[in-house]
Each structure stands twice: as C-alpha cells, then as structure tokens.
Structure 1
C-alpha cells in the first residue's frame, strides 16, 4: 500500500507541469501571483465527479471575482478530459496525471476505504493556494456533494 504524505497550510505547493484537456502544458508556477483552487477527483464521466466539476464550473464567476482560478486534476487521459469538458461545459483547465505523480506529491493518492474495501486510489482532495504558491487550505477525504459550496463559504466567495 502507498504511504501518503499530507500537505499542510503554510507549506509550498509542489510545482508541476501537466497537459490540460486541449494538450496544452500547464505549469503551476505559471499561476504564481494568482490564488488557485486545485481539486483532485477520481474519474471523469462518473456521476459524483461530474457533479463536483459542474459545481466548480457554476462557481467560476464568483470564485474569479474573489481572485481564484480553478484547476481540476485526475488520472484520465487528455482525450477523456476533452470529452468530459465538452459534455459538461467545463471551461477551466482539467489536467491529466495518469502516472499519479502529482496526486502523490499532494497526498491525493493512496490507501482508502471504498464501500468497506481497502483499496489504493485517488483520494478526493482540494487545495487552496495563495498567490505566493503556499497552501492556505488542504482538504482531504472530501465528499463531492456540497463540497464546492463549503469551499466558497470557507473562502467567503
């Protein structure tokens, strides 16, 4: 089983370079100077992940008004992310991390309980990063339902 390292507020967010749904490489360092909401989700096209992604889409305007950019990360291939974005009208970057390198750097992959079974997989997690690249909030083991509303309340957005 994979040993997880959990990140905490005040730590520097691990940098990364990943392709988005259009194949464009996105570097976290390119967002320095902006506040970022980075959310890790298990799989595109599934009901819970679709709901969470759509709730983030519906909240992009108020989050942007409060100074936040949204980025989603999953293990899905670029092509699947393109279909997911098109199907759900998602306009923010969806990043592909099939090797789970970035997931592991953020503690968003490891041992979890899934319907009573202990498995290895993606741990639904959200990170709020400050303009300085440091973690302001690290939210692990979250539920898709109502999560975006909780994040907005936490950020007063």
Structure 2
C-alpha cells in the first residue's frame, strides 16, 4: 500500500479511464484544477448522494476553474448505467485494477459487521492547476461534503 497523499504533495501522474471510454491525464495540463473524489460503489445510497451533490454543484466548481471526477473500482459499463440512472453530470473514472486507489492511498483495510476486508476509503483530493494537492478529506461523511469542498475554493 502507498503512503496516503497529504496537502502539499504533488498529485500522482496517472491516466484515468473515463466512463465515455476516453482517457484523462492527471494532473491536468490545461491550467485547471481538479476535484478527485473516491467512492466505494456505484448505485449505493451514500455514493449516489455524493455523486448527485457534486453533479448539482458542477457549474460552481467549473466557474472556479476546477473539474470534478468521481473514481471507483467499478467497470466502465457500471459507471455508464450509474450516470444514466442517476442523471449525473460529472464524469466517472474506472480503476478496475486499483492502481489509482493505490497511488492515492485510499485502498485500505476496512471493518464492517465484524469482518475485515479491503475497500476504498471515501476520500476527496483537491488538486490545484499546478498539480499540487492542496486539500485532502478522508473518511468523508457524505452529507454536506460537496458543499464543504466548494466552500474551500471560495475561501
């Protein structure tokens, strides 16, 4: 497992496979920042709420010069269904092999109902236009989170 990324670190240089079957390089070289939010699973209650919240605020993030991408280990097909079913406006990236989760240190041991397993720790990374991680949210509570990330940009 990789060491968790913290504010001040350079964003790992990676290629994301997007839900529209294109690829996106991070950090971006287009002069824009990016909000990367990692979530456990498509079409689950918390992940749906979080994705809808970021979708609703997408225009506000874009006005601030930031793009938003959701990342999980679900397949491209799963992402497409999720986007269509929930009418999401944000793009989703598929990390089926777990390399992006590893690079950001969000693939962690979790415990639920007395069982231990590996999974994605719900986390968000704010990366400025220069490719530096400026803010990190770990063990995110969904309610109000997208708004808190936007508020950080407004501060």
Mark yes or no: TM-score above 0.5.
yes
Q: Distance in 2 between matches of 1:108 and 1:58?
A: 25
What does residue 74 of structure 1 align with? 72
Q: Distance in 1 between matches of 2:29 and 2:43?
A: 27
Question: What is the TM-score normalised by the length of structure 2?
Answer: 0.92
Asked if 1:60 corresponds to 2:81, the answer is no
Shift in Å, 1:112: 2.3
Question: What is the TM-score normalised by the length of structure 1?
Answer: 0.91
1:76-114: CA deviations, max 9, x gaps? 000010111111222222000011110010011111233
Aligned pairs for 1:87-102 (under 5 A) are: 87-102=85-100
The partner residue of 1:139 within 123, 133, 137 is: 137
Shift in Å, 1:54: 0.3
Aligned length: 155
Could you say what the CA RMSD is over the residues aligned between the two structures, in angstroms?
1.6
Deviation beyond 6 Å, 4+ runs, structure 1: none
Asked if 1:148 corresponds to 2:124, the answer is no
Instruction: Call closer, same or farther: CA 1:116–1:17 in 2, change over 3 Å.
Output: same
Q: Distance in 1 between matches of 2:7 and 2:78?
A: 32
Question: Structure 2 regions of 5+ residues with no counterpart?
Answer: none
